[in-house]
Each structure stands twice: as C-alpha cells, then as structure tokens.
C-alpha cells in the first residue's frame, strides 16, 4: 500500500474544509486535503444549488486570507433584514450601525467552491486528493494514520470537516447529542418580479420560518428561499404539478418579491441538529458540521463553521510546535465549544418560541417584538452578534 505524509490532513472539501485548508496553508504547513468525491473531474457538475449566507465577521476573515477579492464578484450584499412574526404589524428591522458596511452577503455554493478550489492550487506545500474514502484510523508514535483501500496518509493532525454524517466521528466513536425536528426544509432558487434592494426577509409562520435572501444576478431579480415546514405539508407540495407549486409559494411571498417568474432549483432536506460531546480527540479536531449542526432559523450554521476555522487558525499560529498534541487539540476545543453550545440552544429555543400558538404567549411575543424594534441599542447588539464582530 502506498504511503504519503503531511503535517495536517483535512478530510472533507466542503466550504468549511476548503476555508480551513486555505487558512492553514497560509501558515506554511504541509496540508493535504482529501475527499471521497472527485471534484476535480471536469465531467462533474456541482449538484448543490444552495447558497451560503456569509456574515460580516466571516467576510473579514476571508479578506485576511486574500480570498474576498475573488469572491466578491459573486456576492450579493445584505443591507437590511426585515423580520416578521405572523403579521406585517409585528416587525423588526435590522441594519448595520456602521455606515457603508453590510449585514452579510449571499453566495452560491457552486461558485464559492470553485473559487476556493482554484485558489488552493497556488500553495506549493498543499496537495489535494479526491476519491480518498477513509476506512481506518491508527494512532502511533505521535502520528495519525488514515487509510483507504490503496493509500495511507500520515499526519500530525487530522481535521475532520466531513459534514453532518462524519465518517471520522463514526470511526473514532465520538459521542454526540442529536435532535431530529418534525419539519423538513424547502430550498428554492428563483427569479421574481420586484427588486428587493438587498433586503433579506425572515417571516415566522406557525408551521416554521420562511427566509428570503437576495442573490447576485446581473440582469434579473433573483433570490433563494428557505422554508422550514411540517413534513407532511412539504411532502404534498413536492407532489404538486409545477403550476400549483409555483402558485402556492407565490401566495406566501408575493408581497415581498412580487410574482415568481422562474424557479431554477427546488430541493427538500430533513431538519436535525447535533452537538458532539467534544470537538477533539487523539490527534483529531472537528470543524463545521462534523462538530455541530444547528436549526437554520438564524442562518448561522456556516458562519459557526468559519468561527471554528478562525479558532483553529489562531491555535495553529500560537502553538505551532505543538500541532496535533493533546494540549493543542484541547486548546482548540476550549475556544470553540461554548459558542457552538450557545447557538445550538438559542436556535432550538427560537424555533420553539415562534411556533407557540397560545394566545397570551403570542400577545406577549408581539409586545416583545415592538420593544426590540424601538430599542436601538438592543437591535445593534443583536446585529453585531449575528455578524460575528
């Protein structure tokens, strides 16, 4: 069996894994990025039509890695967020309190991935191997050995960035807490009639939140919709013919975006959240969805993954000579775990809050909405927390 070695092995070339590869490569480590999928195959077309919401804090980190100049041509700024609780009367409007700065940006996953993959090739010490499916892990002599059928890779540190159903987590046996929601998510990209002027919307219906995010498009008005809804309702919607489906969605959003002109893609996903018991093991750290996943109600899942990468970057910079040691891995865990735990709890409780049907509860909620809308200090604090700054 062929053997190769590196200092840091990153398993998983999703967006978080790619950002991790860039950040650690910028510190001049010998990095090897692997994935069981072959993204370098020219015949492969990206099937993921979703978008990612990039917070201002994540954007600043990407700027520090010299990536933003290549990404900004595909990024649509979010200048304002309007949040509604059941009724247009219950509204909170968020803006960035700093003039000429945005709340965030929306980028298509396909374009984001392509830029990061292309740019990664510029690091001489960084290599990529696609079609590598980890089947076994061994730890000996201060090293981690990851093996597939034909190749063994030796590294000082393994970064698990292999997603929600992490194979690394399963092989190691890291325990996790998991919650499965009774809703699914509908993700739609579509063209529409009205110019929403870089505004994002979050509408809380009794069955779940519906978010509309503006997308970059030179000649047409285009957005992405994410709707958490009862599984039975979404199953019925999936079986509607295209005209009835379009009309059903249009009824919910026509006041915000006008009529739907064209639906580009439609995907359905089960909703769940999880949190690893810890974000580290022997010579291993977990980042992004391999460590945690949260309800999409606040659109913070990907940015939480970038926050992990920031902390891994900081730890690697400060403890370079201890890369992969138990003290290194524990330091990373201590820097990341509390924030992930907090967001896991906050998003779960927010989802429960907005689905409450009790009349008195709803009246109190409406009062709270009005109070926050008129309390600029509180609104600014919420905005800054969401922006990650």
Q: Provide the pLDDT confidence category of residue 54 given band limits of 50, 70 and 90.
A: very high
Quick one: what percent of the chain has pLDDT higher than 70?
87
Report whether pLDDT(368) > 70: no
Q: Provide the pLDDT confidence category of residue 140 given band limits of 50, 70 and 90.
A: confident
Per-residue DSSP letter, 44: -
Residue 372's pLDDT is 62
Burial of 325: CB neighbours in 10 Å, binned 0-12, 13-18, 19+: middle
Among the ranges 213-217, 297-301, 377-381, which has the highest mean pLDDT value? 213-217
Residues 143-199: tens digit of each pLDDT: 999 999 889 999 999 999 999 999 999 999 999 999 999 999 999 999 999 999 999
In angstroms, rounded to a whole number, what is the distance separating the alpha carbons of residues 104 and 79?
7
Residue 184's pLDDT is 93
Report whether pLDDT(44) > 60: no
In angstroms, rounded to a whole number, what is the distance separating the alpha carbons of residues 302 and 286?
14
Residue 152's pLDDT is 95
Q: Provide the pLDDT confidence category of residue 42 given band limits of 50, 70 and 90.
A: very low
Residues 286-345: tens digit of each pLDDT: 999 999 999 988 788 999 999 999 999 999 999 999 999 999 999 999 999 999 999 999
Question: What order of strands is seen across the sheet that includes strand 8-11?
Answer: 127-130, 31-35, 8-11, 157-160, 284-286, 280-281
pTM to 2 decimals?
0.91
User: Between the CA of residue 282 and those of 157, 318, 373, 385, what are the distances in Å?
Assistant: 9, 20, 48, 32
Quick one: what percent of the chain has pLDDT higher than 90?
68
In angstroms, rounded to a whole number, what is the distance separating the alpha carbons of residues 128 and 118?
11
In angstroms, rounded to a whole number, what is the distance separating the alpha carbons of residues 17 and 160?
8
Q: Average pLDDT of 216-228?
A: 93
Choose among 180, 179, 388, 169: nearest CA to 278: 169
Residue 37's pLDDT is 82
In angstroms, rounded to a whole number, what is the distance separating the alpha carbons of residues 19 and 65?
9
In angstroms, rounded to a whole number, what is the distance separating the alpha carbons of residues 128 and 111?
19
Query: Using alpha carbons only, how large is the chain's radius of gyration in Å?
Result: 22
DSSP string, 276-330: ES-SEETTEEE-GGGTEE--GGGS-HHHHHHHHHHHHHHHHHHTGGGTTSHHHHH
Residue predicted with more confidence, 48 or 147: 147
């Amino acid at each position: 069996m062929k053997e190769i070695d590196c200092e840091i092995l990153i398993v998983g070339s999703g967006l978080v894994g790619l950002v991790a590869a860039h950040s650690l490569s910028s510190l001049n480590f010998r990095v090897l990025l692997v994935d069981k999928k072959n993204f370098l195959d020219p015949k492969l077309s990206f099937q993921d039509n979703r978008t990612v919401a990039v917070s201002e804090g994540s954007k600043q980190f990407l700027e520090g890695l010299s990536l933003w100049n290549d990404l900004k041509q595909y990024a649509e700024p979010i200048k304002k967020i309007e949040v509604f609780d059941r009724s247009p009367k219950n509204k909170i409007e968020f803006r960035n309190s700093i003039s000429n700065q945005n709340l965030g940006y929306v980028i298509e996953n396909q374009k984001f991935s392509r830029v990061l993959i292309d740019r990664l090739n510029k690091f001489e010490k960084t290599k990529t191997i696609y079609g590598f499916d980890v089947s076994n892990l061994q730890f000996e002599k201060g090293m981690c050995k990851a093996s597939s059928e034909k190749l063994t890779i030796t590294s000082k540190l393994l970064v698990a960035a292999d997603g929600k159903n992490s194979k690394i987590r399963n092989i190691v046996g890291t325990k996790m807490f998991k919650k499965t929601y009774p809703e699914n998510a509908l993700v739609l990209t579509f063209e529409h009639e009205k110019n929403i002027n870089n505004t994002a919307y979050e509408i809380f219906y009794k069955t779940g939140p519906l978010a509309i995010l503006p997308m970059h498009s030179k000649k047409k008005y285009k957005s992405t919709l994410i709707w958490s809804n009862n599984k039975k309702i979404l199953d019925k919607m999936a079986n509607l013919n295209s005209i009835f489906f379009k009309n059903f969605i249009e009824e919910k959003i026509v006041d915000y975006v006008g009529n739907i002109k064209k639906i580009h893609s439609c995907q359905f996903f089960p909703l769940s959240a999880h949190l690893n018991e810890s974000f580290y093991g022997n010579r291993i750290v977990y980042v992004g969805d391999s460590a945690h996943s949260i309800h999409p109600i606040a659109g913070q899942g990907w940015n939480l993954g970038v926050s992990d990468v920031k902390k891994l970057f900081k730890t690697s910079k400060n403890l370079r000579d201890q890369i992969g040691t138990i003290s290194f891995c524990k330091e990373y865990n201590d820097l990341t775990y509390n924030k992930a735990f907090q967001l896991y709890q906050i998003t779960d409780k927010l989802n429960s809050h907005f689905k409450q049907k009790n009349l008195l509860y709803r009246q109190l909620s409406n009062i709270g909405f009005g109070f926050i809308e008129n309390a600029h200090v509180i609104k600014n604090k919420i905005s800054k927390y969401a922006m990650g700054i």
